[in-house]
Amino acid sequence: MKITKLNDLYFKEYISSKDLQQIVTSLAKQVKDDLPPNEVPMFVGILNGCFVFAADFLRAYKGTCEISFVKLASYEGTSSSENVKKLIGINEDLTDRTVIILEDIIDTGTTLHEIYEIFRHKNVKELKIATLFFKPDVYRKELPIEYIGKNIDDKFIVGYGLDYNGLGRNLPAIYQLTTQPKMTNIVLFGPPGAGKGTQADLLKEKYNLVHISTGDVFRFNIKNETELGMLAKSYMDAGNLVPDEVTINMLKAEVNKNTDAKGFIFDGFPRTESQAIALDTFLAEKNERINGMVALEVSEDLLVERLLERGKTSGRTDDTDESKIRNRFNEYNTKTAVLKDFYQDQGNYYGIDGVGDIKDITKRLSDVFDKL
């Protein structure tokens, strides 16, 4: 589940693209099952919003059919009190055809009513309506709606063809209006030894954010011999990742401890795609989101040297043995590195050069933090 921003407003994922596919497929099946076997229906999509739904619906419809699109345009008549509505785009002869109107969403029903009236006078054999979404609480008309994909509350939605001020039609899922996030949440990313911990300590002061290092939390638990510590120890000692479920629950508990936080710097989390998805969902439930992933980019060879050097003083058992270090990189390369794509796909990835003076790197990071 994600939060996205369009112009000045924030939207939270409401219906996933997978659920949409199921709704559309079942709608297409219902329509087909109700028609006589040899009937060739004419689907009529009402632009603009329906274009994504209509495209998916058509491919899910298992039968011979035609499609056309119309648009309802209002134009001023000769007298200023006259506001005439006109359908543009329908050129086909519809005499004796079965016409099924495809709508993306029906709320008050006003537009639909006007379109219906126009089609009623075209000598069609049958006229039916199929809509992806229906808002039963605001519908004001008597017109029967034969096929409804999903009933929804009267909330503003975008995505999957629907827009807010022209934006958001390309979102693959349906998003619902939500409140503006209050926090700034940043994922500080990079391979082991990239300097995330050092930089997070400096940046948390500067930006008044809470720093959560999952590695530190695990080490704290190991030191205090808690149940969680005992569980994590064998994985950590071998340079393996601790299982997702354990790590995700721990992370959530850490976030929930800090109810007054202005935001978080996440260091060492997420490290797998399912951790990243869990984090998005968890934050979206709080109407919050990740503002960005800021990554320290450093080559692996330089890092192995750094870690062995750190191992001389850090007291970290996973820093002293080169084979364990190599295993941590293996875990990073096979499970964690993909997160770059995950955040890049959200338009949320910011890579910076992690080689150089600590101060210079802090400056580079701050330049990105300031934008977020």
Selected from 105, 130, 145, 236, the binder of ligand AMP by CB under 6 A is 236
Q: Does 2 bind ligand AMP (CB under 6 A)?
A: no
The catalytically annotated residue of 2, 12, 328, 364 is: 328
Whether 182 sits among the annotated catalytic residues: the reply is no
Nearer to ligand AMP, 236 or 290 (CB): 236
Selected from 12, 211, 289, 328, the binder of ligand AMP by CB under 6 A is 328
The catalytically annotated residue of 196, 204, 219, 289 is: 196
Segment 5-64, which members bind ligand AMP (CB under 6 A)? none
Whether 219 sits among the annotated catalytic residues: the reply is no
Selected from 218, 264, 329, 343, the binder of ligand AMP by CB under 6 A is 218
Selected from 159, 181, 215, 292, the binder of ligand AMP by CB under 6 A is 215
Segment 183-212, which members bind ligand AMP (CB under 6 A)? 192
Q: Does 325 bind ligand AMP (CB under 6 A)?
A: no
Nearer to ligand AMP, 28 or 241 (CB): 241
Q: Which stretch binds ligand AMP (CB under 6 A): 16-24, 75-83, 146-154, 268-276?
A: 268-276
Residue nearest to ligand AMP (CB): 215
The catalytically annotated residue of 271, 289, 324, 364 is: 271
Q: Does 221 bind ligand AMP (CB under 6 A)?
A: no
Q: Which two tokens stand for residue 99?
A: 């016409």
Q: Does 214 bind ligand AMP (CB under 6 A)?
A: yes
Q: Does 282 bind ligand AMP (CB under 6 A)?
A: no
Q: Does 242 bind ligand AMP (CB under 6 A)?
A: yes
- Judged by the rule CB under 6 A, the positions of this chain that interact with ligand AMP are 192, 214-215, 218, 235-236, 239-242, 247, 268-269, 271, 275, 318, 328
